[in-house]
């Protein structure tokens, strides 16, 4: 007899929340509880049917598998018959755990979500700021195509474990206590493979390289992550795959330094430009721009170019480009040039206060220090 749809059994729709799902199950469990209907076989069957449905739908991973593959996706792992204590096929501990919560219960062959993967991606500053699309190759485990992830040789199938009888766990009596542990024969799967697949050697998975196209949004920075859903490791026993997280690292730039949404750069200028003023061509990520240098500019002066920085990936105002000028000392001067500089220095003697106010102030402070 084919199993009924689990949502139909509980009388709920597929979009029901977990809290409402639990309420629906409790109503049915109380109504058809064997203690209330000891001689009613129909109620006992409905109780077991409701319990089986709830055991699947209360678990987000199992629910996801059921929604996608139906009963076949669960491979019989959540069957409601054959309780650990015999009788009508239900366990008192299971009943209370199902209604009031708890981790006790039979396992059988279950599907599990695969592991998440991480891929470190290095980008240039230009790529990070403008956004791009890159192709990456990722080593991962995927479901074996030969055996469809079952691990058994084509034409064969796994059999129920003779040790735990498909439960995935065994009970051991130690004095007054009963200890439940993972079955050593099937390692908790509930089934064993006598004739394993030659391609995956019974694991149900094979290792391969896959090429993925990743869209990088504009404005990403070092430490940002991009999630590719379902591109991680394949899940054991045909379970859903994990996710792939692409971890972004922006490489150092030869000109710019980034701080949040702002860009910084140092611009060398000559002593003449700093003294007399002028115009300088400076780079931006959008091209070149003329920067006006006023006369008597001191080294370390920072000029702000609004809107020439980075637009944040999550939205917001674009940052600035801040150019710090550094006066460059002339080198490799000719004799004539050196003579001209000495003449200039001599012309400055006696007028340090007018032409070098910072130097005069500093000398006064030094004098006061030693006095």
Yes or no: say if 282 and 267 are a contact pair by the CB < 8 Å rule. Answer: yes
* Helices 41-57, 92-100: inter-axial angle, 10-degree rounding: 50
Q: Model's pTM, two decimal places?
A: 0.56
Which range, 97-111, 193-207, 250-264, is most confident? 250-264
Count the Cβ atoms, other than its own, within 10 Å of residue 132. Answer: 16
* Higher pLDDT, residue 193 or 321: 321
pLDDT at 78: 38
Architecture of 6-100 per CATH?
Orthogonal Bundle (1.10)
pLDDT at 358: 72
Query: Can you tell me the mean pLDDT for 42-46?
Result: 86
pLDDT at 321: 96
**pLDDT surpassing 80 at residue 308:** yes
Domain 257-362 listed as CATH 1.10.3720.10: no
Specify the domain boundaries for CATH 1.10.287.110 within the chain.
6-100
pLDDT at 238: 66
User: Nearest Cα to 123, choosing from 211, 264, 244, 223?
Assistant: 223
Proportion of the chain above pLDDT 90, given as a percent: 34
**pLDDT surpassing 60 at residue 167:** yes
**Quick one: fold of 111-149+205-252?**
HSP40/DNAj peptide-binding domain (2.60.260)
Query: Can you tell me the mean pLDDT for 62-85?
Result: 59
pLDDT at 237: 65
pLDDT at 202: 82
User: Nearest Cα to 162, choosing from 192, 203, 196?
Assistant: 192
Specify the domain boundaries for CATH 2.60.260.20 within the chain.
111-149+205-252, 257-362
Q: Which of 55-59, 325-329, 335-339 has the lowest mean pLDDT?
A: 55-59
Query: Can you tell me the mean pLDDT for 91-103?
Result: 39
pLDDT at 179: 75
**What integer best gives the mean pLDDT of the chain?**
81
Q: 74 vs 68, 168, 260, CA distance in Å?
A: 10, 14, 48
pLDDT at 284: 93
Yes or no: say if 159 and 191 are a contact pair by the CB < 8 Å rule. Answer: yes
27 confidence band (pLDDT: 50, 70, 90) = confident
351 confidence band (pLDDT: 50, 70, 90) = low
Query: Can you tell me the mean pLDDT for 105-125?
Result: 76
What distance in Å separates the CA atoms of residue 48 and residue 80, rounded to the nearest whole number? 6
- pLDDT tens digits, 262-284: 999 999 999 999 999 999 999 99
pLDDT at 183: 84
pLDDT at 83: 36
* Higher pLDDT, residue 241 or 121: 121
Q: 332 vs 106, 317, 329, 336, 338, CA distance in Å?
A: 85, 46, 10, 12, 10
Instruction: Write out the H or E segment, with its range, that includes residue 136.
Output: strand 132-143
- Give the SS3 label for residue 184: coil
Yes or no: say if 253 and 139 are a contact pair by the CB < 8 Å rule. Answer: no
User: Nearest Cα to 285, choosing from 151, 71, 180, 128?
Assistant: 128
């Amino acid at each position: 007899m084919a199993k009924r749809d689990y949502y139909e059994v509980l009388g709920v729709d597929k979009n029901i929340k977990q809290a409402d799902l639990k309420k629906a199950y409790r109503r049915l469990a109380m109504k058809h509880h064997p203690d209330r209907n000891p001689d009613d076989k129909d109620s006992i069957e409905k109780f077991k049917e409701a319990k089986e449905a709830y055991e699947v739908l209360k678990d987000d991973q199992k629910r996801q598998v059921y929604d996608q593959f139906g009963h076949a996706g669960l491979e019989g792992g959540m069957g409601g018959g054959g309780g650990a204590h015999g009788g009508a096929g239900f366990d008192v501990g299971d009943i209370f755990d199902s209604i009031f919560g708890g981790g006790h219960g039979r396992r059988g062959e279950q599907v599990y979500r695969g592991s998440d993967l991480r891929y470190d991606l290095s980008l240039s500053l230009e790529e990070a700021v403008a956004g791009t699309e890159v192709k990456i190759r990722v080593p991962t485990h995927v479901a074996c195509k030969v055996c469809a992830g079952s691990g058994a040789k084509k034409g064969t199938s796994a059999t129920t474990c003779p040790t735990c009888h498909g439960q995935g766990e065994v009970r051991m009596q130690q004095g007054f206590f009963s200890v439940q542990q993972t079955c050593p024969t099937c390692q908790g799967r509930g089934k064993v493979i006598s004739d394993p697949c030659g391609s995956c050697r019974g694991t149900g998975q094979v290792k391969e390289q896959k090429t993925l196209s990743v869209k990088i949004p504009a404005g990403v920075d070092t430490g940002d992550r991009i999630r590719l859903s379902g591109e991680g490791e394949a899940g054991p026993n045909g379970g859903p795959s994990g996710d792939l997280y692409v971890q972004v690292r922006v490489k150092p730039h030869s000109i710019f330094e980034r701080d949040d949404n702002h860009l910084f750069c140092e611009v060398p200028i000559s002593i003449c430009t700093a003294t007399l003023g002028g115009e300088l061509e400076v780079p931006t990520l959008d091209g070149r721009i003329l920067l006006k240098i006023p006369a008597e500019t001191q080294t370390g002066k920072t000029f702000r170019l609004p809107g020439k920085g980075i637009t944040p990936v999550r939205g917001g105002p674009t940052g600035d480009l801040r150019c710090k000028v550094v006066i460059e000392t002339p080198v490799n001067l000719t004799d004539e040039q050196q003579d001209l500089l000495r003449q200039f220095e001599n012309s400055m003697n006696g007028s340090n206060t007018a032409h070098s106010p910072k130097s005069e102030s500093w000398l006064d402070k030094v004098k006061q220090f030693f006095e």
